[in-house]
Amino acid sequence: MTLDAFIQALPKVELHVHLIGSASVPTVLELSRRHPDSAVPTSEEELRAFYTFRDFPHFAQVYGAVNALVREPEDVAALVLGLARDLSTQGGRYAELQVTPYAHHIMGLPKREVTQALDIAAKQSLAEHGVEMAYIFDIPSEFGREAAEITLDHALGEPPAALVGFGIGGIEQRRAPFRDVFRDAFAAARAAGLHSVPHGGEMTGPETIWEVIEGLGAERIGHGIACLDDPRLVAYLRETQLPLDVCPTSNVRTGQVARIEDHPLPRMLAEGLFVTLNSDDPPMFATTLSEEYRLAARVFGLGVEDLARLAGNGVRASFLPAERKRALLDEIGALAAA
């Protein structure tokens, strides 16, 4: 078996992928042609150019334009099913999909209808593609109090059956004025039994990672690549084995890392940190979950054991039931041994 064939066959989970960012190029083109009043191009060539980002704020602007194409509950369900279909061709078995209720709220979609669409899509994803879907509701940082309140209200009042977590993403630099608001929202979500899975240390320094740990009770952290700038934080993460969901291509495409060769993933692994590998917004970044594994092998020299360990980390860091974790870990172990 070649390394590429091994990567293709490797059972995988995707722990850091966003609903809007998972929309395939054909899906986005179909929606943009249906809604010609939008700011999104209607040709593939122009759309791929549209997905060239100057920096993270520019990426957020483009992301918002694509979100504005999602105007019906059926659009929400179609995106979930599209991701399930894509993952099924890559050995994907399970995903914890980040959904931003505030984004659907500003498009006028009622909470109940969004939840129904997510419920239907989760059932169809498993039945039609063999991919189990769970959901994480996340707050877009830059919209502050209103976004926190709407996200929490949806999570507690009209949750989809597969809702497992509560997160926060968006532009990290804009969190500070709403620190207490976000802390209160996370405290309420955790009290209701949701797992805390915030982004932190993607575009700011270690102080944001400390805040999501100490202020938001993080059980897993999105990105976390700035941790290496703080030896005390590295020691804490090593000791606690708090999982970090790393998305190498994403960090390059949004300008957080200059070149893929400069990505801190190898150093994070060398430091003994608990890392999972993910795609974030795959069509927007011209990647896939399997491509992230191929990239890790090609650029960073990771071999079969390393890649199997990363896949196993994803399973262990997930919120799957224990018996499902054991079954997937046994599969990964058997494939690596073969």
- Which of the residues are catalytic? 202
CA atoms of 12 and 310, how far apart (whole Å): 9
CA atoms of 209 and 212, how far apart (whole Å): 5
Q: What angle do CA 269, 233, 134 make, to 5 degrees?
A: 65
**C-beta separation of 172 from 141 below 8 A:** yes
Sign of the alpha-carbon torsion through 180, 181, 182, 186? positive
Q: Which two tokens stand for residue 323?
A: 């018996």
Where does the chain show beta strands of DSSP type E? 12-18, 92-99, 132-140, 163-169, 195-196, 199-200, 221-223, 244-246, 275-277
CA atoms of 243 and 247, how far apart (whole Å): 13
Residue 21 is given by DSSP the state G
